[in-house]
Structure formats: structure tokens, C-alpha cells
């Protein structure tokens, strides 16, 4: 799984927008208050990647705004993009996947099925 991390920081404040549920669905809000709708919808994983996500308890989800992402335990969210990148919103551990590949991030989550 060679998927690499993408840094989706705000061009104004250089903070990462955080996934926030609002009355109209998931939005990304950065520290300066700028609102982002996910400019590029996520994609569904295939093959080994889908199996690895499932083995860690992630399930495919679709938002009202037609975005595709994965929901995991402890409120973890993962977006996969068509260009081979990913982003993680993991509010409890603070691990956003920036330290390597998607596989390396998943390896840091306890309970992986071999």
C-alpha cells in the first residue's frame, strides 16, 4: 500500500482544517475560521487496502455532500484520494498519518488482524 500522506492545510493560516459536523453535513474548519467543503471527494479503497482498513475496524461511509471516507473506532476518519494520497483525522491520538504511509499509520492502531 504505497499511499502517502497529503497535508491539506489552509493557505491563509497554514493550520489543518478539522472535520466538523454541522447541521448541513461534514465541513472542514481551520483555525482562522475559513470553511472548506472537501474540495476533492474521497474514493473507495480496493483490494488489499480495503482489507487492511476493515481489519482495523474502518467502514466505508458517504456524507450528504457526496464525499467518501472511512469511519473507524475512537472517531477516526480517513480520506483516500485518487492521486494516491490520504489524510487522517484522529482526534484522540493526534496522529494524522503524517509519519509515513497509510499502511504505517494502520500498523500503529492496535488490534490489526494478520
DSSP result, 97-111: S-SSBHHHHHHTSTT
**Nearest C-alpha neighbor of 18 from the set 110, 89, 102:** 89
Q: What is the pLDDT of residue 54?
A: 94
Q: Is residue 91 part of a domain?
A: yes
pTM of the model: 0.73
Evaluate whether residue 113 is within a structural domain. no
Question: Is the pLDDT assigned to residue 114 strictly greater than 50?
Answer: no
In a domain, 114, yes or no: no
Is 112 part of a structural domain of the chain?
Answer: no
- What is the average pLDDT across 37-66? 86
Distance CA 3, CA 24 (A): 30
Residue 56, domain member (yes or no): yes
Total domain count for the chain? 1
pLDDT mean over 43-56? 93
- Taking only the tens place, the pLDDT of each residue in 53-71 is 999 999 999 987 677 999 9
Could you tell me the residue range of the domain that residue 68 belongs to? 4-107
Amino acid at each position: 500500500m504505497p499511499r502517502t500522506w497529503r497535508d491539506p492545510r489552509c493557505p491563509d493560516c497554514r493550520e489543518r482544517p478539522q472535520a466538523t459536523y454541522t447541521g448541513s453535513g461534514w465541513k472542514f474548519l481551520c483555525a482562522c475560521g475559513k470553511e472548506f467543503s472537501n474540495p476533492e471527494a474521497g474514493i473507495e479503497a480496493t483490494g488489499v487496502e480495503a482489507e487492511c482498513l476493515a481489519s482495523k475496524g474502518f467502514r466505508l461511509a458517504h456524507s450528504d455532500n457526496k464525499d467518501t471516507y472511512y469511519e473507524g473506532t475512537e472517531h477516526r476518519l480517513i480520506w483516500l484520494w485518487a492521486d494516491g494520497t490520504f489524510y487522517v483525522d484522529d482526534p484522540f491520538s493526534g496522529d494524522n498519518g503524517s509519519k509515513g504511509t497509510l499502511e504505517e499509520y494502520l500498523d500503529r492502531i492496535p488490534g490489526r488482524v494478520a
